[in-house]
Structure 1
Amino acid sequence: MTDFVSAEWVASRSDLRLVDVRDAWEYDGLGHLPGAVNVPFDSFRADEHAAEASDGDGSGMLPAEDDWADLLSTAGIDRESEIVAYDDHHGVFAARFLVTAELLGHDPERLHLLDGDFSSWQLERETSSETPDVEPTEYAVQRPASTPLVGPDEVAAAADDPDAVVVDTREDEEYDAGHIPGAVLLDWRDLVDDETRGLLAREAALSVLESAGILPEKRVVLYCNTARRISHTYVVLRHLGFERVDFYEGSLTEWEVQDRPLETN
């Protein structure tokens, strides 16, 4: 499963493909983890028109398979690569890269999110300004037989299911302005330690989740606006051992295009 790994673990390994999802100017101008390749967030983020055009199949804003395969091939990633992704924003953009990889068939056991980000890494560890030479691959997308993707009808049904909880991972103001009926609020940043820039300690994270009614025994259905913020929360929940975590890729962009109801506070 996609999980968090420490800087110490990353530094001790020489067999990882490190992926920096920051903008190219940050990667080049501010430095990066030694050996990391640059795959900027905007290069694999489909725009909102993708969700607007969705027919409810769950694809939402995932990139086209050929585009994704080309990106990974150019970055020297193959289907056996063990990947650690990072950014400089508490991992939320890097998490989107990893969840995209999982949904498009990369083995989740080989996908990891750096616990912390570039800023926390450079406080104690070496960075580099050299772009590594990589051998291009022929990455081939092989979608898995099943994924956590759900469509709007399943989300609406989950809101009425006592064994499920629909979770809005946006900010308070966004939630108050309009959310899926029955959804609870969990700002994704509530699971981040501002000092370490990484994940809260396990018991603290579980306490935050419990206070929002998000329990391991429940099925959890996540959404935000454009599937970026739920990517981080998805990785957190899977890392903490939650077994039933569903991912509404279309999120509110798709929900609102379909004129589905919203609740306001």
Structure 2
Amino acid sequence: MIAVVAAASLAGTAGFVVANSTGGDADQGSVTDSGSTATETDESGEGEAATTVAAADIPGETRGFDDVHTEQPLATTEWLAERLEEGGLHEQGIVLLDVSENLPSSELTPYAEAHIPQAQYLEWSEEFTAPNTREFISAEEFTELGQSLGINEDSTVVLYGDNNNWFAAYASWVFNLYGVEDVVLLDGGLHKWELHDERELVEEVPAVPPGNFAAKPQNHDIRAFQPEVLEIAERNAEAGGDAVAAVNLVDIRSAQEHDGEVGVDPDIFQGEGAAVWGHIPGSVNVTWTQIVDEQTGEFLPAEEIRSIYEAAGVDFENPIIAYCRIGERASHTWFALSQILGEEVKVYDGSWSAWGNSVGVPVANNSGERAGLWGQSGD
């Protein structure tokens, strides 16, 4: 039996405020400038708790899934090697970006030491996010970023990175969020190029002329916010944690994180857990590394990927929302399910760092303990 508990937090989470998760009409509370639902106060000064969760007013539009689906989402290392032999990538309409995390445990060469020829480096954690907030830069700022990288309206943007293209896939999702037309991943990433193929790395950093790319408002058809996820989670929680809502929730974290035995994967993160551990009720758990080849880092064939998710309980007749800790690993799953399989998929990038720190949201825990900072397993 899965225990369903309520999460608690010492502070609010950026992007939304949780007042009460019991459902109800939005008009029971007023909407503040930040988009959160406030508490009504009567003449006696006593407040009545609002009954909804509202996302901050983040500019965006709905452009559908056809806006991001592409027939050729992957480029092979052989294809890239041939393009490099032909000469300048920019003259061929190609922008090559290294989006590596350079983890201390990585056996791959950091970009600053050497990289794939003609690749530029993209520091995702600094260049994608606005300062002092948990949100991406504006469309205008993303336009400036894209142009500084030499991206034109007709460019093919090829992304690669370390750790099975973990952060390159995250960049792919963000680029698609802002309407970059042709975004592909180098299948296998730096692992395939450097270790498996043993291809050339260089120290030279390329100089590219400014591009003419213009970003669109965020495509909210591929991004999920907490109110949408909360509605699904509450339906599942009312059913004892079973997935009864007509939307698949896919938790791509490790099994230990999903079950609530640990706050974060100790092999990857240190001390970055949420207040409460576990998963969103009704989620299936498919760790993101299950869908890549251990030897090459390439994605498994499409039908094998589909079979893995079907075996875990994903119903491909329904849309999918993927989440992890902050959205980066979930973007790898988004790429596989959306770009390779062509399914309707959103990333809940608030993920567990938002959900596990929110007051009043339902949490499922398989560990048999009240785990987290306020539970028996917390320190």
Q: Mean Cα displacement is larger for which, 6-15 or 212-221?
A: 6-15
1:158 corresponds to which of 232, 236, 247: 232
Which residue of the partner structure matches residue 134 of structure 1?
208
Which residue of the partner structure matches residue 127 of structure 2?
44
The answer to whether 1:169 aligns with 2:169 is no
Q: Report if the CA contact (8 A) 1:85-1:113 is conserved.
A: yes
1:28 corresponds to which of 108, 112, 117: 112
**Superposition TM-score, scaled by structure 1 size:** 0.85
Q: Report if the CA contact (8 A) 1:170-1:188 is conserved.
A: yes
1:83 corresponds to which of 120, 144, 157: 157
Q: Report if the CA contact (8 A) 2:306-2:341 is conserved.
A: no
Displacement of 1:49: 6.2
User: Any idea what SS the aligned residue of 2:364 has?
Assistant: coil
User: Any idea what SS the aligned residue of 2:334 has?
Assistant: helix
1:60-209 → structure 2 map (5 Å cutoff): 61-107=135-181, 110-122=182-194, 123-124=196-197, 125-137=199-211, 139-143=213-217, 147-159=221-233, 160=235, 161-177=244-260, 178-209=278-309
1:6 corresponds to which of 45, 64, 76: 76
Displacement of 1:45: 4.6
Displacement of 1:173: 1.2
User: Any idea what SS the aligned residue of 2:158 has?
Assistant: strand
User: In structure 2, how many angstroms separate the alpha carbons of the residues matched to 1:164 and 1:145?
Assistant: 19
Aligned length: 253
User: In structure 2, how many angstroms separate the alpha carbons of the residues matched to 1:50 and 1:182?
Assistant: 29
Which residue of the partner structure matches residue 248 of structure 1?
348
Q: Deviations over 1:233-255 (max 9, x none)?
A: 00001233242212212222222
Provide structure 1 residue ranges, at least 5 long, that are not aligned to the other structure. 52-60
Q: Deviations over 1:95-142 (max 9, x none)?
A: 1111111111212xx010111021210242222221112112354321
Displacement of 1:28: 2.5
Larger radius of gyration: 2
User: Any idea what SS the aligned residue of 1:80 has?
Assistant: coil
Partner amino acid for 2:145? Answer: L
Q: Deviations over 1:193-236 (max 9, x none)?
A: 11111111233222211111124322111111101011100000
User: Any idea what SS the aligned residue of 1:78 has?
Assistant: coil
Q: Report if the CA contact (8 A) 2:139-2:217 is conserved.
A: no
Q: Report if the CA contact (8 A) 1:38-1:75 is conserved.
A: no
Q: Report if the CA contact (8 A) 2:164-2:191 is conserved.
A: no
User: In structure 2, how many angstroms separate the alpha carbons of the residues matched to 1:188 and 1:23?
Assistant: 16
- The runs of 4+ residues in structure 1 deviating greater than 4 Å are none
User: In structure 2, how many angstroms separate the alpha carbons of the residues matched to 1:103 and 1:236?
Assistant: 16
The answer to whether 1:263 aligns with 2:333 is no
Which residue of the partner structure matches residue 56 of structure 1?
none
Q: Deviations over 1:168-192 (max 9, x none)?
A: 1111111111111111111111111
Name the Cα RMSD after superposition: 2.4
**Superposition TM-score, scaled by structure 2 size:** 0.61
Partner amino acid for 1:9? Answer: W
Which residue of the partner structure matches residue 224 of structure 1?
324
User: In structure 2, how many angstroms separate the alpha carbons of the residues matched to 1:193 and 1:49?
Assistant: 38
User: Any idea what SS the aligned residue of 1:27 has?
Assistant: coil
